[in-house]
Amino acid sequence: MRKGDHVRECSTLRAVSRPLVMGVLNVTPDSFSDGGCFFDEEKAIARGVEMVSEGADVIDVGGESSRPGAEPVSEAEELRRVLPVIEALAGKARLSVDTVKPAVAEAAIEAGATLLNDISASLWAIAARKKAGWVCMHMRGQPRTMQDDPRYDDVVREVHGFLIERARRAREEGVEEIWVDPGIGFGKTYEHNLTLLRHLPQLASAGFPVLVGTSRKGFLGRLTAANAGETVDVGDRLAGSVATATWAMLAGARMVRVHDVPATIQAATLVGDCRLPSPRVRTGTSVGGPSFGVGSEEVRTA
Ligand code: HH2
């Protein structure tokens, strides 16, 4: 296989009958929910393979935590973390790289990533030049300080306006595949997060496919707690994660970014089926019925 062939292989159009599921692979010691679990290269690769077997449509490889308060890592260290994992998983699934560093983005795409997950919403020129997809996420400030009293006059207008302006600019400058993501938890209070989730249908109607990441995030700890003032532990947020992912998909999100792939695939399948004109018939392992192209017209998948 020539260098780059796997990129083309992983970029072909495929019709899918449900919203897409992006599995999170944090090759970090300090991510908020799975820090240290997949810091070891072999464990990270095994986790990626596992998520592929669980049905993840995209594996999102990150080498720098963006949790509130996180300290940045050097370019060399981030490259050391993500490149061997991307190289090992290339050709097995569609890969995205979760980075804000131009050099890491370029190297990851060379190594086989075909989607640039850009929480800084600033790297579209690389996506255009490298013919990769681009995720444009909204963040207020930087991870280290973003949760220090974030304020908006109108969070929906400001976040949506920012995303649509950036996405249009990227399209004009040659990016063919653009996702917009409201950036749940990135410089937002509990109320901001819920308001943005409530207004997802509005964002989804703006003409760009929407990606949403709520998985295990802090606001769920408060949202799902039994009593005011309490918080549910990060390890006990599966129900809240799947419930909010399901809401997002019903509200028009075409992809959700999650740590718990099998449960989310079940929810995504349910959402896909609910949108079909007639239910699919399931016989044993085979699934019959009409093909339902959620995102298949303009969204590249593995
Ligand atoms: N959330 C996180 C990281 N990257 N990218 C997009 N597009 N949307 C998100 O909501 C998003 C993201 C934070 O989650 P996680 O990667 O699990 O944690 P950490 O940043 O601590 O590694």
DSSP structural state of residue 117? E
Per-residue pLDDT band for 17 (boundaries 50, 70, 90) equals confident
Closest CA to 177 of 262, 108, 116, 263: 116
Separation of CA 254 from chain center? 10
For residue 16, pLDDT over 80 is answered with no
pLDDT at 7: 31
- Does any ligand 1 atom lie closer than 6 A to the CB of residue 81? no
What pTM did the predictor assign?
Answer: 0.89
pLDDT at 157: 98
Per the listing, tokens 């692979």 go with 25
Residue bearing the CA closest to ligand 1, atom 18:
31
Residue bearing the CA closest to ligand 1, atom 10:
213
Q: Contact, 163 vs 207, CB < 8 A?
A: no
Residue bearing the CA closest to ligand 1, atom 11:
213
Determine the distance separating the centroid of ligand 1 and the alpha carbon of 96, expressed in angstroms.
12
- Does any ligand 1 atom lie closer than 6 A to the CB of residue 182? no
Helix (H, G, I), strand (E, B) or coil at 256: strand
Determine the residue of 33, 66, 216 to mutate for testing ligand 1's pocket, defined as the one with the most ligand atoms within 8 A of the Cβ atom: 66
What is the share, in percent, of the chain residues with pLDDT greater than 70? 86
Catalytic residues: 217, 257
* Atom from ligand 1 closest to the CA of residue 117: 7
Strands of 255-258's sheet, edge to edge? 178-181, 133-137, 115-118, 94-98, 58-62, 20-26, 255-258, 211-212
What is the share, in percent, of the chain residues with pLDDT greater than 90? 78
Q: Please state, as a whole number, how many other Cβ atoms lie within 10 Å of the Cβ of residue 173.
A: 12
pLDDT, mean of residues 66-89: 95
Cα 247 to Cα 253: distance, rounded to the nearest angstrom:
9
pLDDT, mean of residues 126-143: 96
pLDDT at 279: 61
Six-digit token string for 245 = 């992912």
Cα 59 to Cα 25: distance, rounded to the nearest angstrom:
7
Determine the residue of 20, 39, 98, 181 to mutate for testing ligand 1's pocket, defined as the one with the most ligand atoms within 8 A of the Cβ atom: 98
Cα 23 to Cα 188: distance, rounded to the nearest angstrom:
23
Q: Pairing between strand 20-26 and 281-283?
A: unpaired
Determine the distance separating the centroid of ligand 1 and the alpha carbon of 26, expressed in angstroms.
9
- Does any ligand 1 atom lie closer than 6 A to the CB of residue 78? no
Max avg pLDDT among 13-17, 28-32, 84-88: 84-88
pLDDT averaged over every residue in the chain:
88
**Interhelix angle 190-198/238-250, nearest 10 degrees:** 40
pLDDT, mean of residues 116-122: 98
- Does any ligand 1 atom lie closer than 6 A to the CB of residue 257? yes
Q: Contact, 281 vs 288, CB < 8 A?
A: yes
Alpha-carbon distances of 144 from 188, 196, 217, rounded to whole Å = 13, 22, 16
For residue 301, pLDDT over 90 is answered with no
